[in-house]
Structure 1
Amino acid sequence: MATNVKYYCMAFLKDGTPSVRTFASTKSIENKNEDERDKYIIELKNKVKNMTDDTLEAIEIILAADYDLYVNGDGTNTYVRDMETGTPKVYVPPEPTKEELQAQALANLESEYNAQKEEFKKDLDTANLAGNTEAVQSIQQEFMEFNKAYEEAKNNILEKGVE
């Protein structure tokens, strides 16, 4: 990322996720007068803190290269702040919980159920329009079996979870 900004002031959440940020004046950060530099940094950190209602874990002055990793990644990975070292680290998403897996399985089952139900409706409409009572009865029977299988699959997910 091409930029003329050398430093940023960035806030991080407890899990290292970058939050609000602003650029920092290179001249002020590299000021030889420690009192002026420290005063500027304190004011800048307060400015960043006031930019959000989130609970912030850390507010730091970072280099543009680190900022770029946090905001844009490296083309393959995304990055969060390592809260122990204060450096960027590759974000590894947590494994989904049992509840999340169960919710996803139920959503997939519901989606498949609704799609198949629409097919049954189309077939039933066609059979009704043709006056084919034998086909209507067959479709109705298949639909009842399909509903039973759906309920069993749903209950199985709810009772046993997903592996």
Structure 2
Amino acid sequence: MATNVKYYCMAFLKDGTPSVRTFASTKSVENNDEKYITDLKNKVMSMANNEEISIVDIINSEEYNLYINGDGTNTYVRDMETGKPKIYVAPDPTQEELKTQALANLESEYNAQKEGFKKDLDTANLAGNTEAIKSIQEEFMAFNKAYEEAKNEILKDE
């Protein structure tokens, strides 16, 4: 993204995620105007709305574009050791997140299968087929038992 702005003042969270930002005066930054820079950083900090800001810094437009737009393939965060942009790598999901996802998948599968049982039962009822009704009911009971066992297996470490 082309811009005529050379410098920005940007706040970063402790994990390096970019937060609030504003333009910085090229002349003031290049002349190292300490009062201007301090006031600008304080302004950005006040814009943060209670976010836990780790650092506020002056960055150039190339870094700004990486933080905001990425490089077309990757997104970027601040490397809190070097102060430079680095490719964001999502953390591995926690055990709790994995359990939540597994439960959601199980629930979705259960609901889809249950709808199938309902349709089959309705069809058997309409046809007056008592053997099919009994068979569907037995299958549904076994299905419910398997669902509960699978759910308990997912939840067993809690």
Task: Indicate whether the TM-score tops 0.5.
Answer: yes
Aligned counterparts, 1:35-54, within 5 A:
37-52=33-48, 53-54=50-51
1:44-86 C-alpha deviation (Å, 9 max, x unpaired): 1111011121111000000010011111111111111000110
| Farther-moved stretch of structure 1 (22-31 vs 12-21) | 22-31
Consecutive unaligned residues in structure 1, runs of 5 or more: none
CA distance in 1, matches of 2:157, 2:41: 50
What code does the residue aligned with 2:45 have?
A: K
What code does the residue aligned with 2:112 have?
A: A
Which of 136, 139, 142 lines up with 1:145 in the alignment? Answer: 142
Which of 59, 62, 66 lines up with 1:65 in the alignment? Answer: 62
Match of 2:151 in 1: 154
Following TM superposition, by how much is the alpha carbon of 1:157 offset from its aligned partner in structure 2, in angstroms?
Answer: 1.3
Following TM superposition, by how much is the alpha carbon of 1:160 offset from its aligned partner in structure 2, in angstroms?
Answer: 5.5
CA distance in 2, matches of 1:8, 1:123: 64
CA distance in 2, matches of 1:27, 1:58: 23
- TM-score, normalisation: structure 1: 0.92
Match of 2:97 in 1: 100
Number of residue equivalences: 157
SS of residue in 2 equivalent to 1:76 = coil
What code does the residue aligned with 2:57 have?
A: E
1:99-123 C-alpha deviation (Å, 9 max, x unpaired): 1111111110011001111111111
* Displaced runs of 4 or more, over 4 A: none
Match of 2:107 in 1: 110
- TM-score, normalisation: structure 2: 0.95
SS of residue in 1 equivalent to 2:72 = coil
Aligned counterparts, 1:6-17, within 5 A:
6-17=6-17
CA distance in 1, matches of 2:72, 2:15: 22
What code does the residue aligned with 2:47 have?
A: M
CA distance in 1, matches of 2:95, 2:46: 37
Match of 2:74 in 1: 77
Q: Identity of paired residues, percent?
A: 75
